[in-house]
Amino acid sequence: MGRDPSGNRFNSLVQLEYEKGIPRNPFINAGAIVICDILVSQLDDPIQALLDYMRVLSGSFDICYDPVVAESEAQTGFINRALANFLKGNNNLVNDVDAVLNLYFHQCAIAMSCNELAHASLHLANRGVSGILGDAILTPAQVKRINALMLTCGTYDEVGEFAFRVGLPAKSGVGGGIIAVLPGEYSVTVWSPALDDFGNSVMGGAALEYLTTMTGRSVF
């Protein structure tokens, strides 16, 4: 997959067709599905492994998948099924489509608090060192690349406006959450379910803009 902003909706079939089954970046739906395919190839039980990883990163071992959300994702994820099948048809998906989507739908259904998610992403502000474990789980070079992707691709096709207003590497989700990091200083999570036309939290984005404006601190 690529590492450029999509410039289109996060679940665009048109873009995926135009670019012959190569997702623009790992943060749009097609890219996340490809990442899930890699995890299915490498892990015996990727659903449990992903949950265990988030538990360790956050230091909260009661984090679970929400089964109602996971089932809803599976029952209504028609566009995601189309994306996965198109990826498979273009030889960019190795495993069975249903197995890959099962992991994808579950990762969409991890239930976490803002506090847990902020702790889970702290290593992205700390050169790869987990604040919970006290150990490096990523190299500084890997963290640099992830933060760069979050800044340029993490808020779908609103990334330019978001960078202009907020000025932090961030990743949003259509559940209304946004994680953001200021390298060397902090990670922060906001949540509010009302979304704008791009799929980003309206109040969450406003809160992060207020944070960087009032502190005078951003990556710029």
Give me the tens of pLDDT residue by residue for the chain, a chain 220 residues long: 999 998 888 989 999 999 999 999 999 999 999 999 999 999 999 999 999 999 999 999 999 999 999 999 999 999 999 999 999 999 999 999 999 999 999 999 999 999 999 999 999 999 999 888 888 999 999 999 999 999 999 999 999 999 999 999 999 998 999 999 999 999 999 999 999 999 999 999 999 999 999 999 999 9
| pLDDT value at residue 7 | 86
CA gap 34, 22 in Å, rounded: 9
Q: Which of the listed CATH numbers 3.10.20.90, 3.30.499.10, 3.30.429.10, 3.40.710.10 matches domain 114-214?
A: 3.40.710.10
- The residue among 124, 156, 158, 127 whose CA lies nearest residue 140 is 127
- Give the H/E segment covering residue 21: none
| pLDDT value at residue 174 | 87
CA gap 161, 158 in Å, rounded: 6
CA gap 157, 177 in Å, rounded: 16
For the chain, the structural domain boundaries read 1-112, 114-214
CATH number of 1-112: 1.10.1500.10
| pLDDT value at residue 8 | 86
| pLDDT value at residue 145 | 97
| pLDDT value at residue 133 | 84
- The residue among 220, 107, 117, 113 whose CA lies nearest residue 169 is 220
SS3 for 117?
Answer: helix
